[in-house]
Amino acid sequence: MSILDAGAVLEGKYEIVRLLGSGGMGDVYLARHLHLDETRVIKLLRADIAADEASQKRFLREARLATQIKHSNVAILHDCSRLPEGGFFMVWEHVEGNALSERLKESGRLPMGDALDLGIQALRGLEAIHSIGVIHRDVAPDNLMTFTNPRGDLRLKIIDLGLARTLAPDAGQEEVTKVGTFMGKLRYCSPEQAQMSEGAVLDRRTDLYSLGVVLYEMISGEAPFEGRGPAVVYKRVSEDPIPLARRVDGLNVPGAVSNVVMRAVARDREDRYPDAVSFIEALDQARSSLSEVATRKIAVAAAAGGGSREGSGVGSGDSPRGAAGGDPGSLSRSGELTREERQSLLAQIDRAAEKVKQGTLVFNRAQEALDAGRLSEARSLIERLEKVSPGSPSLAQMRQALEEAESSASAETRLQELEDMLTRYIKNKQKPLAKLALDSLLDLAPTHPRRSDFESWVELMDEEKEQDERVAKALAAGREALAAGADRKVRRQLDTLRKLHPETAEAFAAEVEAERSQAAAGVEMDELNEAFEADLEKGDLKSAARRLDALEGKVSRLTLDGHRDRLAAEHRRGEREEAESAAAAKLNERLGVRDWAGAREVVRELADAYPESERAREMAEDVGQREGAAQKRAAVEDGERQIESLIAAGDTDQARLALKVLLQMDPENPHRLQLQRQIDALDG
């Protein structure tokens, strides 16, 4: 039974139920834990890429990162192991529900309350991921699982950390992307992720942007940009998103909600929320404002309904508000205006006239700003006028003129940004991105005056790439020959470079010259070093000192200090040898007269002056041995004399005992037989 078949068991406990899907890294299976009787999700690194070291590293990195995250809004990793044939698999929590993408596909968009609740839950999960120094880099509806808990609440969990990456630099963490490409889904990637280049750094705000796009889609059912495919990527780099409140006709989005979402999807990441917590707080406040607005509407409606009366009027017995001074526009009982009512009405007319006058001034200022191209100022003034007279035909015409001017200005800005982007990609020799940028540029301006130039440059990039490869190959071969000392091959590669790329040839020629100068200096330095060693060996310390002066500035300070230490050591060695010779002469004089104390003093002075002297230690041993031998001879001679005295006195027993002691000190004493016969003669 294959490991991919239903019913297969991994490690004796995970039974494969069925294949759920396949991705770029591996296959995903539904499995059952045989012992716990719970469903799990098995993510298996596919066999065709399991042998790739980079893929294995990325797969295992996902596992290591996932084990550090413990949060209710992030799927739990239960296990990770290796298959007998060498592949890897992970065991994830099984979320019984649907991906957010499926929910959006079915309903188009979500109720406002559900969208905000799911957004906050997703942000809490992202905060848990970010808190361990990791960014997800693939926040999209496919990776957000939704489900209903036992209480009936709509819940969300983030899944799939396959593209996650630590924020701290890590030399052991091998990136699988290349310059000019990015990881993640085009529809949800951030502007900085879309234009990743060598040396660029992503941070947690790229995830917040992606979630902002998801939230935008949950609320409106549409993406923040028009269009499909790769061209949309360049829109998010060169254009601001379509305001959420204007994305779909008839869609009522409260200003508080729109402001939060639009900040999240700001093109410049410095304008976005700095972290998930700030995003959560803003979204939570917007959600609270929805409840407050609903409460106020209900209260106002109730108050309006409670204040209405049927049959009210003069004949009803109720006093008109005008008679009481409450409504200055109402007539008195006689049908004529009172003095107070007349004054109030005139004041209203004056205020209305002043309002019209001010409105005319604002209108004129708005028209002037629009004519001068100060579009931001014109928009602000028009919005002020719309609050006063929203149905004015003149204002509607001005609004239309403003939108046309803004559209034109936006198109010019987008055009310039696309030109800059295309130029940068051409300069960096990133043809796929340059081709996409050119397509986007021509979509916006099919008759662009530099169209033929741009198209020619893009087409020439392949030739330039081949040229660069030939230059790089010749340069590498030249450097290899230079390192090997093959001068003829160096010249040949230098000639090739002059034909292919004169600037590179000039730089390589300077490199060759520097290498040769360094080699010549190295030869001179080697010769000086060898001469220095020879001087030391033959003891010519003065000449060695001159060599050392010549090496100043040509070798490292460490090498120079080492040579100086050796020269100083040779000087000391010579001084020590002279001192040892002088001490040896003095020692012989002291030993000749058996002046043991004087001999020891000579040795001590030498040892104190030169502790490293082996000769001093040898002299000390020699003095000790000689003094001991002299003391032994004196003791033997004294013993012989004592025996002879005892024999002369006829004391046989004491004489035998003294002889025995003598032989213990000097077993080979030359007089032992003679002394023994003399003692034996006393007994006879």
In this predicted model, which residue has the larger pLDDT, 56 or 209?
209
Average pLDDT, whole number, for the chain?
79
Taking Cα atoms as reference points, which of 189, 230, 267, 197 lies closest to residue 425?
Answer: 197
Q: Which of 202-206, 324-328, 550-554 has the lowest mean pLDDT?
A: 324-328
The helix (run of H) or strand (run of E) holding residue 567 is: helix 557-592
Taking Cα atoms as reference points, which of 268, 140, 254, 137 lies closest to residue 207?
Answer: 137
pTM for the full predicted model: 0.46
Q: For the chain, report the end-to-end CA distance as a whole number of angstroms.
A: 116
pLDDT at 174 over 50: no
Contacts of 145 (CB under 8 A, 6+ apart): 75, 95, 97, 98, 99, 100, 156, 157, 158, 159
pLDDT at 531 over 90: no
| Domain covering 99-168+177-298 in this structure, CATH number | 1.10.510.10
| pLDDT at position 509 | 87
Q: Kindly compute the dihedral angle of the four CA atoms of residues 204, 209, 215, 219, in this order, to the nearest 10 degrees.
A: 160
Domain range 1-94, CATH class: alpha beta
Give the tens place of pLDDT for each residue, 33-45. Answer: 988 889 999 988 7
The helix (run of H) or strand (run of E) holding residue 44 is: strand 38-45
Lateral strand order in the sheet of 77-82: 9-10, 14-22, 26-33, 38-45, 88-93, 77-82
- How many other CB atoms are found less than 10 A from the CB of residue 164? 21
| Spans of all domains in the chain | 1-94, 99-168+177-298, 590-683
Taking Cα atoms as reference points, which of 51, 54, 80 lies closest to residue 65?
Answer: 80
d(CA 241, CA 296): 32
Give yes or no: 48 in active site.
Answer: no
| pLDDT at position 224 | 92
The helix (run of H) or strand (run of E) holding residue 678 is: helix 672-683
Active-site residue, from 48, 52, 114, 138: 138
| pLDDT at position 305 | 42
pLDDT at 168 over 90: no
Tokens of 370: 């629009």
| pLDDT at position 393 | 66
Contacts of 243 (CB under 8 A, 6+ apart): 258, 262
Q: Which range in 253-267, 354-368, 627-641, 658-672 is most confidently predicted, on average pLDDT?
A: 253-267
* Residues linked to residue 80 through DSSP beta bridges, in sequence order: 90
Q: Which range in 46-60, 344-358, 539-553, 661-675 is most confidently predicted, on average pLDDT?
A: 661-675
Q: Which of 211-220, 229-238, 273-282, 591-600 has the lowest mean pLDDT?
A: 229-238
Tokens of 665: 């000190």
